[in-house]
Structure 1
Amino acid sequence: MMHADLIDEQDLLGQLRSLGFEVSGTAEQACSAAVCGLNEANARALKGLVEKLYTGSATILPAVRQAIDQQLLPGLVQFQQSKAV
């Protein structure tokens, strides 16, 4: 029997909570909430989480990947750009 590691919405929410973010709902809602009011430490933690997820061997389910691509990554970019101004 084959076993595949999957990252689903509950896994993502759990990982965000372990970083100290108060999130709930869908992956999209959680990612949107996580990027609200970012500070340097939170941004570093989110960046590390995204790197870990994308370079790991686990399969990221489409809804989770979409939430990261459409909410987390643009939020991190916006935060970095706002710091540079």
Structure 2
Amino acid sequence: MMHADLIDQDDLLGQLRALGFEMPAGASAEQACECAVRGLSAERARALRGLVEQLYTGSATILPAVRQAIDKQLLPALANHKSLHG
């Protein structure tokens, strides 16, 4: 039997919480990403950038809702933070 590694909403929330981001219980992937980018500091931006790189270069499949939330919320916020703060 073949098992696929999947990154779902719960995985994303768990990984964001492990990095120290606070978010409400039961948050959607979109809500979790919104919470993560609020008040983005240089340290938090580095942590988020590392997480996104890990998710996108890893072998696990990112479910569409999670990928969409990352693409819509995290990537633009990280790009904006980098352009403003170098």
Common fold: TM-score over 0.5: yes
Give the RMSD, CA atoms, in angstroms: 0.8
- Alignment correspondent of 1:38: 40
Structure 1: where are the runs of 5+ without partners? none
Of all paired residues, the percent bearing the same amino acid is: 69
Structure 2 residue ranges without an equivalent (≥5): none
List, as ranges, runs of 4+ consecutive aligned residues in structure 1 with deviation greater than 3 Å.
Answer: none
Give the letter for the 1:79 counterpart: H
Residue in 2 that maps onto 1:54: 56
Q: TM-score, normalised by structure 2?
A: 0.94
Aligned length: 84
Equivalent-residue separation in structure 2 for 1:74 and 1:23 (angstroms)? 20
Residue 19 (structure 1) aligns with:
19
Structure 1 length as normaliser, TM-score? 0.95
